[in-house]
Every structure is written in structure tokens, then in C-alpha cells.
A and B are shown apart, each in its own frame.
Chain A
């Protein structure tokens, strides 16, 4: 879920401890290492070795079946930049990640500010918004496929028909299909992030607002002067989760549009699977996976540094 949470826990754990190191002897050490063994094995076999293989294959013309792959240098990387389906995957994934992050952040903060007020039906409203985070996105994507159906019996088109507008092929036009995927992505995650923001809002002391009111600050000034700056840590975490989640997206576009029309809504993950598993172009898929890993890793490290810099400034 969150690399930031994890890095915190890790910082605490690696700090030199004073009271540890109880007893000793080879037997103790052996037992201790035996406890670490299962996780170490999972790490080596599921992360280290396959990552090395991905990197090595990205430099070969490996097909996935023929063991005699030959070394071809950076040719795979060059051909990604010429392949329209791969480029489409890169382009749409970036668009999706940036668009959902921006829209969800604005909507979730606005929603959280409202949810932080007392009003009748608040729990109902919060539950409805949060609910899409519970079921599988693959199933929700399929449901939305029916809502966007090009037939007059699709939900949106049936409403349009009542207004005398002809049915629209929502998922058969490049632009509309991309728009539809982003809309569903926003629908699915806004409530979850609003709940996250609500927690931070509740930690802002009420006195700040009282003082601001006495000084004659308008609600607008209060929001931009108090609420938004104090939400900065939450914004950092939320946008980080949205960006990494957005780059890794697969279920939703695959269920809603299947990547189409053409390659309009294809994602990087889908490109990797198609090239690497179905088409036997393992070398090229591996090169794409390497580029993808570098992007996600750079984002994660940048995010961690930003969080630490902000913390130093705020504390």
C-alpha cells in the first residue's frame, strides 16, 4: 500500500537498538536465521531472481520458448519507441495516472471538507462514496461497460434518448473511451481518498479557525490559509498512492474497453502481458518492464525525499 508508512517503520527498526542482543551463541543465531528464511526465500525467488531475468532478457531476442536467445543490446528498447501499440500503452497509462491523480485530489479534498461538517445522512454519504473501493475493479469495469453501452438500452444512452438525443458510442471513439476510463477511475477512488483526507482534517485544531474568524477571514481565505497548507502531508501521500496506482492500472481499462478502440486505452501492463505471454516477444516485453520499473522506482524515491523534506520544514 504505502511505501512511506513502510519506510517509517523501517527507519525505526534499523536505528541501533540499545537493549537487543539477548544471549547468543551459534544456536541462537541459527534459530534466528531460520525464522528469516521463509521471507528471504520469497524475496529471492519472487523479486530478485525474476527482476534479474527481466533485465537480462530485455537485452536479448528471447521468445519465451527457444532457450538459445542471443544478445542484441538495446535493440528492444529502440523497437519499443517504434511500435505504435507500445507507445499507445505508454501514452494512455501516463494520461490515466496524471488525470486521475489531479481530478481525484481536487474532488477528494472538497468531499472531505464537506464530510468533516455535521449534517444529516453523513454516514450514508461516506459509505456510498467509499463503497467502490471494496469490490474488484474488474467486475465494476464490466458493470460500467453496460452503463456506457452504445445501444439505446445503455443507462446513459437511455437517459439521452428521453432528452431526444441519439445514442452515443461511448467506448468506440478514442477520445470518449479514454474519457470514460478516467471517469470510472475517479468514481472508484475518490471516496477512499476523501476518507484519508478526513483523518487529517480532524487533526487540525478548531482554534485556528476561530482565530481566523475573529480576524475576519472569509471561508475561502480559511481554506487556502489554514486547511490546504495543513493538508500537505496528506496530499503527498494521497497523490503518491494515486500516481503509482495509476501507472500500475490494468483491471479497469481491460474490463471496460479491453484496451480499445484500437490501442486507445491500452495500458503498459496490458502491453507487457500481450507481448510477453501471448505473443512470445519476451525480450521486448522485458524491456518495457525495465523502463516501467525505473519510472515507478524514480517516482517512489522522489516521493520519499519530498516527504522527508516537508517533514523537516513542518516540524
Chain B
């Protein structure tokens, strides 16, 4: 920390230069949304010559993109909420009642971690075809319920650190399990719910594998799928594609800025403890 000034300046300059190179793709998509097609072709990395906003006007006028936003918000909100409720209910049950049976069940759940999603994809596809849940947003929600097992493990790890006496006291006062869960356990585990919820939100929002296999009609596309299909729609109009991408990325960027502290802390807490 006591390195000479010139060395610190040198390090700073070198690191910022390197970061600028790494940031080129981000600069590239943003800057080209403000250009016409011929401008972009002539010089992809130059700054725009004027403020050209037609790309944004056109993209923001497209109802399909907004529909896909609605779809993604629905799928993400419902599945993350369901994952958190399912995971914390099970974690609570394991906390208040330790029996051999529950221990066996807990060990079985671990199995879910060595099974990659790819291994269950084809049978689940056939099953959802049978249930008529293919090309249906609720089918996606159902598929994402597997994430509840991940939530369960992290929530259960956190619950172990809570003072058990609080729950015991509530029970002696005659509160039922559901009431204890809702009024005492849930408020206490809020920090882990936030962390896990953020990770799951990013995972579901950004997922491409499941929507690309299970969604076929344009009206049911999620944002990522919509952008993916925009490439073929705007085959030659690159600035339009860049604009669609930027608009699609904005919610995730805002989400990231708002939750950055939790993401980095969660990442560190999770892995350092591990």
C-alpha cells in the first residue's frame, strides 16, 4: 500500500486501459443504436455524428417486445415467488422437526445437485406435451420449480443460525406451525430470501435454454427469446438489432445497479463460507 506514486499511476492507467478494451462490446452496442445503418457500416466504432433516435422510436413502438417483457415479468415473478415459498416451507419443516425420515429426505434432495438440467429435459418435454403445457408460460414456471431445491438448501443453512428459542416460545404461547412460519420465521430469514431471490431472478430472467425448447409461438416469447428472434427479423439492419438488445438489457442493468451490493455480498458470503 506504500508503493510510490508513479507506480500507482502506472497501475491505474494500465488497468483502466484494459477495462476499456474489455468494455468495447458494451460501448459498441450502445453507440450503434444512435446511428443509421450506413453510418454503422462505414465506421462501427466511431461516435455517432448526430443524435439519431429513429431506432429507439421504432423499437419502442413494437408491441411484440413489450409483450415479451410482460411474459418475462410474469414468469420470473411467479416462479421466483413459488421457489422461495416452497423452499422456505421445507426448510422450516426440517428445522422444527428432526426425525430419521426427514434426514433421509434431506439427503435425497442433495441428489438434485448432481443431476444437470439437460438430463431431465427430454422426458419433461414429453410430459409437458402430454399436459398441454408446452408453449405455455405456466409450463415455464413449472420447469423452474426445480430451482426451489437450491433455495431450500441455502435457506435451511441460514435458518440454522437463528435463535431457536424464539420459535419455541411462540409454540408455548400456542401459535400453530403456519402462524409461526408466517409471522416469526419468514421475517427472520428476510436477508437470505433477498439474496437467493436476486440470484434466482437473474437466472430465470436470463434463461434461454428452457424458453427456446418449450416456447414456439411469438406471443409467448420471453425477452431473451424475442431478441434472439429479432436477429433474423433485422438480418441486415444491425443498428435495429443493437437497439432491441439495449432496450432488452436495460431492466437487467437497472436491477443489477439496485442490487449490486447484495449480489457481490451474496457471492462472497456464499463462497467464503463454503
Contact = CB atoms under 8 A, between A and B. Distances in A.
Contacts of A53: 123, 126
Given A42-B148, A273-B213, A277-B125, A139 B89 contact: no
Interface stretch (B40-48, B50-58, B60-68): B40-48
A129 B19 contact: yes
Nearest to A273: B213
Contact of A14 (B26, B106, B117, B206): B106
Contacts of A120: 8-9, 12
A301 B113 CA distance: 10
21 contacts: A1-B150, A5-B154, A6-B113, A8-B274, A12-B160, A32-B97, A35-B181, A40-B90, A43-B112, A46-B146, A119-B12, A125-B16, A136-B208, A143-B25, A143-B242, A195-B267, A199-B268, A272-B118, A277-B125, A286-B122, A289-B118
Contacts of B227: 138-139, 142
Contacts of A273: 121, 213
Given A12-B160, A51-B119, A3 B113 contact: yes
A293 B115 contact: yes
Nearest to A138: B208
Given A39-B149, A64-B126, A251-B208, 13 more contacts: A14-B107, A22-B96, A36-B89, A36-B93, A49-B123, A54-B119, A138-B208, A139-B224, A155-B44, A255-B228, A277-B125, A293-B119, A300-B114
Interface of B: 1, 3, 8-9, 11-12, 15-16, 18-20, 22-26, 28-29, 40-45, 85-87, 89-90, 92-99, 102-103, 105-127, 142-143, 145-146, 148-150, 152-154, 156-157, 160, 164, 168, 171, 176-178, 181, 199, 202, 205-209, 213, 224, 227-228, 231, 238, 241-242, 245, 248-249, 252-253, 256, 264, 267-268, 270-274
Contact of A39 (B87, B125, B228): B87
B150 A50 contact: no
A114 B16 CA distance: 12
B234 to A, nearest CB: 11
A309 interface: no
B109 to A, nearest CB: 6
A276 B93 contact: no
Interface in A1-57: 1-10, 12-14, 16-17, 19-23, 28-29, 31-33, 35-36, 38-40, 42-43, 46-51, 53-54, 57
Contacts of A296: 114-116
Contacts of B18: 125
Interface string A125-161: 1001111101111111011111100000111001100
A135 B253 CA distance: 8
A80 interface: no
A163 interface: no
Given A40-B105, A153-B40, A117 B11 contact: yes
A7 B92 CA distance: 18
Contacts of A119: 8, 11-12, 15
A159 to B, nearest CB: 8
Given A57-B123, A142-B241, A277-B125, A269 B153 contact: no
A277 B216 CA distance: 13
A301 B249 CA distance: 36
A137 B206 CA distance: 8
Given A135-B206, A135-B252, A142-B228, A32 B177 contact: yes
A47 B157 contact: no
Interface in A75-123: 114, 117-122
A42 B227 CA distance: 30
B118 A268 contact: yes
Given A6-B110, A10-B106, A276-B121, A155 B115 contact: no
Give the size range of A's interface with the partner: 35 or more
B96 A32 contact: yes
Interface in A211-251: 234, 237, 244, 247-248, 250-251
B90 A2 contact: no
A234 B267 CA distance: 12
A20 to B, nearest CB: 4
Among B106, B178, B270, the most chain A Cβ lie within 10 Å of the Cβ of B270
Given A43-B109, A195-B264, A5 B122 contact: no
A200 B272 contact: yes
A282 interface: yes
A38 B86 contact: yes
B272 A22 contact: no
A168 interface: no
A265 B253 CA distance: 29
A286 B124 CA distance: 12
A29 B97 contact: yes
A206 to B, nearest CB: 8
A186 to B, nearest CB: 10
Contacts of B248: 139
Nearest to B177: A31
Given A117-B11, A277-B122, A289-B122, A134 B253 contact: yes
A50 B124 contact: yes
